[in-house]
Amino acid sequence: MATAELEDILERHRRDPLQLLQILIELQAREGWLAPDTLSALAVALGMPRARVESTASFYSFLHTRPAGEYRILFSDNITDRMLGNMALMQALCDKLWLQPGKVSEDGLVSVATTSCTGMCDQGPALLANGRTVTRLTPERIDEMAHLIRRRVPVGDWPPEWFHVEDNIRRRDVLLDHGLAPGQALAAALDRGATSILGEIERSALRGRGGAGFGSDIKWRSCRDAWGDAHYVICNADEGEPGTFKDRVLLSSYFDLVVDGMCIAGMAIGANKGFIYLRGEYRYLLDRLETRLAQRREQGLLGRNILGRGFSFDIEIHLGAGAYICGEESALIESLEGKPGKPRIRPPFPVTNGYRGQPTTVNNVETLALAALIAVRGGEWFRAIGTPASTGTKLLSVSGDVERPGIYEFPFGVSVAEVLEAAGARDTQAVTSAGAAGHCLAADEFGRRIAFEDVATGGSIMVFDASRDMFEVARNFAHFFAHESCGFCTPCRVGTAVNARLLDKLAADHGSPYDLDEIAKMHRLMQGASHCGLGNTATIAIDDMLAKFRPAFERRLHSPDYEPAFDLDAALSQARRMTGRDDPGAHLGDNRGALAEERAHAHGRATTTGVQGAPASAEPVSAKDLQP
């Protein structure tokens, strides 16, 4: 990259080392990848070790430290995309472009691979083309896409209808049908004052809508009362949970209400600065959101002296770069500071030591929008909706085997069966209540209710009818978590990888009851020993599926005894070709026969020597290997 271009980007980001991730994203957008010389020049310019720059650049899935092609095609690989045939479409594109999935073409033109859920489960299969979202893929679109790539047509000149993203709002309630003008909620909050607003939030019993359900009033009060040189509000718009897309709709069509909510939170905690952490998959929204923020500043609804009332608050948007773990609030703050998004050790908590070490409140997009409603209509009004322990309404992203996928707003307390009926589900065998990270419900549980005290959810409802193989659902989830684990702690780093390998082993017809026991053990271990919520929730749905849909797993068992996943005889095939041998003496026999022979031989040896104990044999990594 030319020095002048680098200097231009650095000046735009104030040469602030905490802007490192944003600088890297912009550099890659210009160059296509992050070359070693670029990283070295950036390290010198920011006065930081090159290792730190390299650490951030290599952490995020959407940043490339090797050439990835002029066209970088990433197919969304959530289970709902698979149900819609994304793998066949990806293979078709690869065949037409003469390349292998996960590889760059020999001419350096294009790469095709998979990525985690892109938040388009209501209009999939979907992919990202150079970061731009393409929805509703069909074989015809894949054919035309291959033709456009071969002709080197810029992605911006592809058919505009490919990039159309619909809201798909199916049911509205008090939030999605609020009827407020931009700034109306903010004006009401300024009329009430900071202390009164905190009181209304407390009376409303509003709980965080990101999944954890922490009391919003407690978080805001704790942040307000914490000492610091500055206070900050962060809107967590990194909704990476598979099957979730509610925040996408709020940002697209209800952005003013979200911004009002951020300003109200800032007034309540004494903050003058806020950040929206926008997931990289929603980059297509960035220009539109930036334009609207600029308009609000001109209208006196953002920036200095808002509405002439002496309150100042402004907002910056920061992009993520493909890391599910950044949905965890401390990992998000690390990313906001330009570092790899790895969860912090807590305490201290963000409300006392957050962004730049200052008191910070991190709230979900939906939470902030609801706070704006409460500022206008009051806490008692809000508390009258829902259940005593789960007040208000909840936005549900419903996808999978339903006639009408999309966004449904229901008061808390609605039954799972009512949601399924509204979405047009038929012959349903299972529902995941919180994407890949929550419980999986069987048909006899559909009478349970969506509420923190019963079926808690961050908003992702994925539906599976009787035709679906729940083993493949579990396997998809296991690979998702193995890919998204940040690697900070051993239980999560190793445990998610072990689960993925064990399920792959079952899929390859090498499974045994031993493997099912190991998956159950991994669940118990990771629940208690993982550092953050990712590891603690990564096995919940898998454990439920194993318990409630066990036949789907058991029909893949190949042997009642331990079955090795590694085929040593097949591994020696290259040696046989090199020596020109293929006689019986050059083969080991099948794995089970070899293992039985080894055990018999070892048993005989133990009997003749008087040595007690089991024979020495290779064993796979198991849960006990992770125990201290």
pLDDT for residue 576: 86
Using 50, 70 and 90 to split pLDDT, how confident is the model at 582? confident
pLDDT digits (tens, 9 = 90+) for 131-158: 999 999 999 999 999 999 999 999 999 9
pLDDT digits (tens, 9 = 90+) for 73-111: 999 999 999 999 999 999 999 999 999 999 999 999 999
pLDDT for residue 609: 44
Using 50, 70 and 90 to split pLDDT, how confident is the model at 568? confident
CA separation, residue 246 to residues 199, 277, 369, 446 (Å)? 28, 15, 12, 22
pTM over 0.85: yes
pLDDT for residue 595: 52
pLDDT digits (tens, 9 = 90+) for 365-419: 999 999 999 999 999 999 999 999 999 999 999 999 999 999 999 999 999 999 9
Cβ-proximal residues to 268 (8 Å cutoff; 6+ apart), any chain: 194, 197, 198, 201, 220, 224
Task: Report the range of poorest mean pLDDT among 1-5, 59-63, 306-310.
Answer: 1-5
Rounded to a whole number, what is the largest CA-CA distance in the chain?
A: 95
Structure-token pair, residue 403: 């006639």
pLDDT digits (tens, 9 = 90+) for 483-520: 999 999 999 999 999 999 999 999 999 999 999 999 99
pLDDT over 50 at 626, yes or no = no
pLDDT for residue 528: 80
pLDDT for residue 573: 85
pLDDT over 70 at 613, yes or no = no
What average pLDDT score do residues 161-171 get? Answer: 98
Using 50, 70 and 90 to split pLDDT, how confident is the model at 574? confident
Beta bridge partners of 127: 75, 134
- Residue 163 CB: number of other CB atoms within 10 A? 15
Of the chain, the percentage scoring pLDDT greater than 90 comes to 86
Cα separation, 351 vs 261, whole angstroms: 18
pLDDT for residue 16: 96
- Residue 244 CB: number of other CB atoms within 10 A? 28
What average pLDDT score do residues 327-353 get? Answer: 96
Angle between helices 36-46 and 50-59 (to 10 degrees): 120
pLDDT for residue 612: 41
Q: Could you give the strand order of the β-sheet that contains 440-442, starting from the edge strand earlier in sequence? A: 169-171, 406-411, 393-400, 460-465, 428-432, 440-442
The answer to whether 234 and 355 are in contact (CB under 8 A) is yes
pLDDT digits (tens, 9 = 90+) for 227-278: 999 999 999 999 999 999 999 999 999 999 999 999 999 999 999 999 999 9
What average pLDDT score do residues 547-566 get? Answer: 87
